[in-house]
Chain A
Amino acid sequence: MYSPHTDSDIEAMLATIGAPSLEELVRVPDAVAIAGPLDIPPAVPEMELFAKIARYAERNEAVNYTSFLGAGAYRHYCPPVVMSLAMRGEFLTAYTPYQAEVSQGYLQAIYEWQTYVCLLTGLDIANASVYDGATALAEGAIMAVNATGRRAILVSQAVHPNYRAVLRTYARGLELDVEELPVGPDGATDFSNLDVRLADERFAAVVVQSPNFFGSVDAPGEAVRASAAATGTVLIGVVAEAMSLGVLATPASWGAEIAVGEGQSFGNPVAYGGPYVGFIAATKAHMRRIPGRLVGRSVDNRGNEAFTLTLQAREQHIRREKATSNICTNQAHCALVATIYLAAVGATGLRRAAVLNLERTNELAERVVAIDGFARAFAAPVFNEVAIRVPAGLKAANVLAELQRHAILGGVDLGRWYPELADCILMNATEMTTHADIDRLCVALRGVAGVARSEAAHV
């Protein structure tokens, strides 16, 4: 039996906070308590219930919309073999097995995931995954803080706004300063002042995302790498769209000591905010600071290959408040899906899929900017997302609302996070985007632009 507190523990805690009993502590005051039975309709036969839920599901008409939404969550094709294998009963468990070594198959799968993450990022060591890319960034920042003993993080404003928000949430509790680097007119991070910012050796890390939130390739150059190295600042590379690693240079190649990001694109569908699969990889020098679970390959007492959880002595069940992190959870099943996806498509398939993303996005951008009044917001090369400026006098939000009337989700209004970009839409195209999708979008956008012009003419 698992008994977290003894009766005397509980009494002592109640006495400390002045509560008479556990029942009193959690008692809902009469003023807000629901009196009588809950207002739930009576039970119906299962067949009827399915029919009813199917009718509800039909009201989700947006599932049939043509979508150009991205911004950290991406629609990609998933070969049927992925779910056929991943949904096998042996892999479905409510939680990480506590006697992890019993589950050799799972540990092997996680070990393979770690290997893929190392191959894709170019770094030495990766963990078993964390909740999502944003969490991975926050944990990566903590690694840099622990490595350097410094208490500030410098992060590009072109890093995903949600990732930066999660980073700030972590930073508040840990009393870390988070400062930002501006974005230049080309849509990539402006590093021109970096030398000065890093000079006082106050920053544990400088955080850059590529492709960045605007879709632009934002891998820092040699000068950034040199400034970071000269000041002992850890370069953290964020990859919010793992598919990009099929064609773009690895974070390690542009100097990242720690790479963090989101692996949802590999076989995991987009579904109302998750679940996601965050990854963390680092150079060997940071090995003992990587949070969460790590699977290692070893041999058992009969000399057979065996997989085992390793470096556990730093996790919270052993090291308590001094653990490297409070994260013990990994997204085992999401990482398994991603692993099977990568195994199924292979290096060649991944490259082909990534090239398709690139081609469709270029086609999307070319077709949209050919419409009178629409233009690329930034000149920097992109992977599978592009920021489009709408015609003068229009707001992104109005254009998107108009597109929705045509059953098109046209993208994301950048004004939500960047008020100065309220006339810009972030549009995404993947291998799932068809030429016909782009045709439909362009027809609708011509309509929007035409209406805007005629309205302007009337003013």
Chain B
Amino acid sequence: MPQPDGLLYSKEHEWLKVEGDVGIVGITDYAQNSLGDIVYVELPQVGKTIKQFGSIGVVESVKAVSDLYTPVGGEVLEVNKALESDPALVNRDAFGEGWLYKVKLVDAAEREALLDPGAYDALVAEGTH
């Protein structure tokens, strides 16, 4: 399945959608599919400043707990509250309703370290994990 356009991707299988000076972050469909049924998502605290590629939370599936590495740095503006009661939203709609958190973007240059849909597609096709 081709990756949605208009998003940027990290090698750790997170996506970033830029809307003005706000970045919306989630994990990719490939990532949710690899993890299996997601039972819990631990997100950073609102107001906290996070650094690009830092470990900022975890996604817990029935078989593993995986770290979340943020594709972009900045202040956390909002987290997806719906995931508290329904973490499987990430499985059902990884690129939409299953978004994780929003960040106030500080450094546009950070995005140069991310992949475009084509490059991420290639990464997934390689099976690199």
Q: Which residues of A contact B (CB under 8 A)?
A: 149, 288, 313-314, 318-319, 322
Contact = CB atoms under 8 A, between A and B. Distances in A.
B61 interface: yes
B64 A318 contact: yes
A32 B67 CA distance: 49
Give the secondary structure class of B's interface: strand
A314 B60 contact: yes
A155 to B, nearest CB: 25
B45 interface: yes
Interface in B30-83: 40, 42, 45, 60-65, 67
B67 A313 contact: no
Interface residues of B, number: 10
Contacts of B60: 288, 313-314
A59 B16 CA distance: 75
Nearest to B62: A313
Contacts of A313: 60-65
B127 to A, nearest CB: 22
A292 to B, nearest CB: 15
Nearest to A149: B45
Interface of B: 40, 42, 45, 60-65, 67
Given A288-B60, A313-B60, A322 B40 contact: no
B42 A288 contact: yes
A147 B61 CA distance: 20
Interface centre among B42, B61, B65 (most CB of A within 10 A): B65
A165 B61 CA distance: 37
Contact of B67 (A314, A318, A322): A322
A288 B41 CA distance: 11
A215 B45 CA distance: 40
Contacts of A319: 64-65
B45 A318 contact: no
Given A313-B60, A318-B64, 6 more contacts: A288-B40, A288-B42, A288-B60, A313-B62, A313-B63, A319-B65
Contacts of A314: 60, 65
Contacts of B65: 313-314, 318-319, 322
Nearest to A287: B40
A250 to B, nearest CB: 27
Contacts of A318: 64-65
Nearest to A148: B45
B52 to A, nearest CB: 20
B50 to A, nearest CB: 13
Contacts of B63: 313
A318 B67 CA distance: 13
A203 B26 CA distance: 32
A455 B127 CA distance: 88
Contacts of B61: 313
B128 to A, nearest CB: 21
A314 B65 CA distance: 6
B57 to A, nearest CB: 12
13 contacts: A149-B45, A288-B42, A288-B60, A313-B60, A313-B61, A313-B62, A313-B63, A314-B65, A318-B64, A318-B65, A319-B64, A319-B65, A322-B65
